[in-house]
Structure 1
Amino acid sequence: MTTATPFLMFQGQAQAAMDFYAATLPNTQVVSVERHGGTTATGGTVKLARLSVCGREFLVSDSPVRHAFDFTPACSIFVDCTTPDEQQRLFDALADGGGVLMPLNDYGFSQRFGWLADRFGVSWQINLP
């Protein structure tokens, strides 16, 4: 069976990001982690991990090669919240150390919506349907 899984590639911050997401988002946990071996700059960083984010599986890795590109808001993780309090808590936690692209507000397509990039550069759309 052919499958498709979202993949997040970091540059040395994969473990910190996974720990943060697991502590912040409901029903989120690190499922498995394989680490780069050796004593080079990548030694001990995440070679490949499986992270369940709100019950949806993602693959996560630290790139062994430094590159000039990073995350872009053109790809984001969309989270539907069940209450305004939950939405506010998630938005505030994820925005801390990052940047707000669209503050929480009624933009006409949902009750309340916000878009941000977290401290790791990953973009999140936080929605209250």
Structure 2
Amino acid sequence: MQTLVTPFLMFQGRAEEALNFYCQIIPDSRIIELQRYGTEGPGKEGSVKMARTSIGGLEVMCIDSPVEHAFTFTPSFSLFVTCRSEQEFEAIVAAIGKGGGVLMPPDNYGFSRRFAWLNDRFGVSWQLNLGQLELK
């Protein structure tokens, strides 16, 4: 068996909503598997016990935590999206920015002709880039 590293997102009641949103706005995305808590718990019945999704080809796991935590997502960890066109970039920036927060507004920052860093309405951080980064 191969060692596998997979990003894991912990939500507190909005995992399925977030996954559906990501699959709607990021091309080549889909929910692979979704398990729900039943009446036996420990999570709220119907909430996400475990999910696997492919976001633009990257497999990501997530849950709705049955335990309330004093922390949430941080921009220190983000999902980096390389967009194929200006139109795709603008559409994803608009969708992720709606109800979220802007960390770096869309602009030319030198390392990229079009880049933005946003938090979505669920608190997940996204770096969006048009084309290839110019690493030096």
Return the TM-score normalized by structure 1: 0.96
Q: CA deviation at 1:24?
A: 1.0
Matched ranges for 1:114-125 at <5 A: 114-125=116-127
Q: CA deviation at 1:39?
A: 6.7
Describe the superposition over 1:5-50 as per-residue Cα deviations: whole angstroms up to 9, x where unpaired.
0001000000100111111110011111011111766211001000
| Cα distance in 1 between the residues matched to 2:31 and 2:94 | 22
Moved over 3 A (4+): none
Give the match's secondary structure for 2:16.
Answer: helix
| Cα distance in 1 between the residues matched to 2:58 and 2:76 | 20
Aligned residues: 129
Q: Which residue of 2 aligns with 1:92?
A: 94
| Cα distance in 2 between the residues matched to 1:86 and 1:18 | 19
| Cα distance in 2 between the residues matched to 1:23 and 1:108 | 30
Return the TM-score normalized by structure 2: 0.91
| Cα distance in 1 between the residues matched to 2:3 and 2:53 | 20
Q: Which residue of 2 aligns with 1:11?
A: 12
Describe the superposition over 1:34-93 as per-residue Cα deviations: whole angstroms up to 9, x where unpaired.
111117662110010001000110001100101110000000000000111110100000
Could you tell me which runs of 5 or more consecutive residues in structure 1 were left unpaired when the two chains were aligned: none
Tell me if 1:82 matches 2:84: yes
| Cα distance in 2 between the residues matched to 1:85 and 1:104 | 13
Letter in 2 for 1:114: A
Could you tell me which runs of 5 or more consecutive residues in structure 2 were left unpaired when the two chains were aligned: none
Letter in 2 for 1:121: G
Matched ranges for 1:1-129 at <5 A: 1-38=2-39, 42-128=44-130, 129=132
Q: CA deviation at 1:111?
A: 1.2
Give the match's secondary structure for 1:104.
Answer: strand
Letter in 2 for 1:6: P
| Cα distance in 1 between the residues matched to 2:60 and 2:116 | 22
Letter in 2 for 1:93: A
